[in-house]
Amino acid sequence: MIDEDGRVAEDAPMRWNGWGDPAKEKDLPRAVRTLLPLLLGRIRRPGPAVLLPDVVVPASALTAEDLAAFGAVVGAEHVDVSLESRVRHAGGRSTPDLLRRRTAHQDAPDAIVRAGSHADVVACLTIAVERDLAVIPFGGGTSVVGALDPERGRHRGVVSLDLRRMSGLIALDEISGEATLAAGTTGPDAEALLGARGYELGHYPQSFRYATIGGFAAARSSGQNSAGYGRFETMVTGIRVATPTGELDLGRSPGSAAGPDLVRVFLGSEGIFGVITEVRVRVHPVPRERVFEAWTFRDFASGADGLRRVAQHGGGPTVIRLSDEAETAVSLAQVGKIGRLLAKGASVITVYEGDGIAERRARTAELLEQSGGTSSGQGAAEDWLEGRFDGPYLRDSLLDAGVFCETLETGTTWSNLQGLRDAVERALREGFAGEGAKSYIMCHVSHVYPTGGSLYFTVLAGLRSEPLEAWQRVKSAVNDAIIAAGGTISHHHAVGRDHAGWLEQEIGETGVRILRAIKRELDPTGILNPGAVIAEQDS
């Protein structure tokens, strides 16, 4: 079971065609059901979703000899070609992923191989090269950018290399404040193991309950406590990696000038260069106190100015996030306050942990007030913390009701924030209008830096037919708009396959050549996650 902080792993496996524990599925709040037709017009409910036993996947391309070779390494019981396991490893948890899982005919990996150690991973990569099999590293299965699609590329078959048997706290250096964790350790398990020793990592993305330490590293994750503890990549002090051509154990010292930092090569690589098997991270004592405060602003712009002031001053909250007027309204609807839905204004949540809270809170309050903020007490911030991992359940409920719901994110400088937000909203609105659908767009800022911040969009739309194709067209236009407006193609969701076509526009042709050169050296036969991050070249 999970306590209010999500510190113990989920007992139940994730819903095969949705998010999270099936027992925690949520009905749409009555106020939200009332609001939807007003925002999106008439909504047609979809037909019944296919049941798991009725899903049809292609026959496995692996031979008995292939399966025996993997079984000799990990144990025959850890090589799985069952329908259920293949479907559960057939992608991540984006809305397109979930819509595909509601259909009868689906693609899937040819087998799931559950490695139990770094040595297992090394041996499995050797087998895959020898037998011409693509390998998709798999942790919590929470990617939302197509990084887990069962793409075989030019290879004979594709294997999902599941790392969740590789779980646990390998070492804790209390003097240095470092912990080494196996890559398959989930966020809740990591915090439970560290908490038993009086420490925490403090990394809480929305995927926290299921995502893994290796996944955090491979995707350059950013958690909700990033204002206080930083992005995950800033927490990483070392990694161990298995590649098809050799092994690496990186991070000898907390600071080094011994050439370029190779640790950073693998952070964000999404399994295309190698498989991360261990991660060494900075940890801190479990905070003894937590204080909440919510704020209201007349509009998004004034709220963003308040966040800028706080980020540039430094020493502020552990969590600070701004919801625009549209997101604030829907948040009120979820708790039944439909009478306030037409009230204008944006909202800010702040949470303080650790030492010196009174001083930090007073300083933050002064800065937010300078931007026109008004304190609204603790309640909204406490409500946010209680439900901060539950947003994807609402997404599933909306899909069940026939409402298309998806998220996307980007980031930019403070001076460009409003321009980028306007460009993305315009592309979304015009894109859905071109598909004959009304849309409702929400935005929040959840990660801040002295020089800028992130923009996280949630969009609802009344798409009536072929939503996958319609969204592909809309998202393509949005990606173009992000690049044109000076934003990053991804702030923390990563590149996967969904954004690979836009990476060169962000990092340049030379940047892509560098990435291709690294991949050729570490993965010369191209077995690792074909098509992710950098699109495969024609042979």
Per-residue pLDDT, averaged over 29-56, amounts to 88
For 274-322, the pLDDT digits (tens) are 999 999 999 999 999 999 999 999 999 999 999 999 999 999 999 999 9
Q: Which CATH class is domain 290-484?
A: alpha beta
Tell me, what's the pLDDT at 343? Answer: 53
Interacting residues of 219 by C-beta distance below 8 A, sequence separation 6+: 143, 147, 268, 270, 492, 493, 494
Residues shown for the chain:
539
Q: Residue 536 — pLDDT band, cuts 50, 70, 90?
A: confident
Q: Residue 339 — pLDDT band, cuts 50, 70, 90?
A: very low
Q: Residue 10 — pLDDT band, cuts 50, 70, 90?
A: very low
**Any idea which of 23-32, 133-142, 381-390 has the lowest mean pLDDT?**
23-32
Closest C-alpha among 265, 139, 152, 262 to residue 190 = 139
Q: What Cα–Cα distance (Å) separates residue 521 from each residue in 107, 193, 245, 532?
A: 30, 37, 8, 17
Q: What is the dihedral of CA 222, 1, 165, 170, to 10 degrees?
A: 70
Tell me, what's the pLDDT at 537? Answer: 67
Per-residue pLDDT, averaged over 407-424, amounts to 98
Tell me, what's the pLDDT at 23? Answer: 86
Pairing of strands 275-282, 178-182: antiparallel
CB atoms within 10 A of CB 486: 14
Q: Residue 97 — pLDDT band, cuts 50, 70, 90?
A: very high
Per cent of the chain over pLDDT 70 is 95
Name the one residue in this structure whose structure tokens are 């039944």: 336
Is pLDDT above 90 for 492? yes
pTM: 0.94
**Any idea which of 25-29, 320-324, 401-405, 438-442 has the lowest mean pLDDT?**
25-29
Tell me, what's the pLDDT at 338? Answer: 43
Mean residue pLDDT across the chain = 93
Is pLDDT above 90 for 30? no
Using CA atoms, how far apart are residues 340 and 522, in angstroms rounded to an integer? 56
Structure-block tokens of residue 73: 């390494």
Domain residue ranges of the chain, discontinuous segments joined by +: 290-484
Residue type, 123: A
